[in-house]
Amino acid sequence: MARYLSYEEYLARGGTLGEGDFETCAARAAGRIDALTYCRVRGMSTVPEAVKEAMMTAVRAASDAGAERVASSSALAGFSTDGYSERYQSAGEQWEAVERAANREIRALLEGVCDDAGTPLTYAGGLE
């Protein structure tokens, strides 16, 4: 299973996107999950609940961080009172911040979850 979360499961978990938007975001989300788990979920006999929750996070991030949405908004990134200064994040900075936050949340959800062979999904290799 390459998607990890069906549209029906997405709706049952509180998702609000239409089916077309979900399909687009779910494809991106599955790619993010694959990147963070080194594609270990692909070979599993069943998709763990933690992966489905991680998919919800990744779909939400893909939806919230759409290029058009980020480009059309500006976020206040700094403020100073005495000398009055403001700083706004660029669209690229906003995109990166959303990506980092989503990756942190997904890694936290997948912490301690193992594939069918007992390897932690987020294990990157090396000595233990």
30/77: higher pLDDT? 30
Residue 125, pLDDT score = 82
Identify any residues that bridge with 78 across adjacent strands, giving them in sequence order: 87
The phi, psi pair for 47, rounded to 5°, reads: -85, 120
Query: Does 88 score more than 70 pLDDT?
Result: no
The phi, psi pair for 11, rounded to 5°, reads: -65, -40
pLDDT tens-digit series, residues 9-59:
999 999 999 999 999 999 999 999 999 999 999 989 999 999 999 999 999
Using CA atoms, how far apart are residues 113 and 50, in angstroms rounded to an integer?
Answer: 7
Using CA atoms, how far apart are residues 128 and 125, in angstroms rounded to an integer?
Answer: 8
Residue 91, pLDDT score = 65
- List the chain domain ranges: 7-110
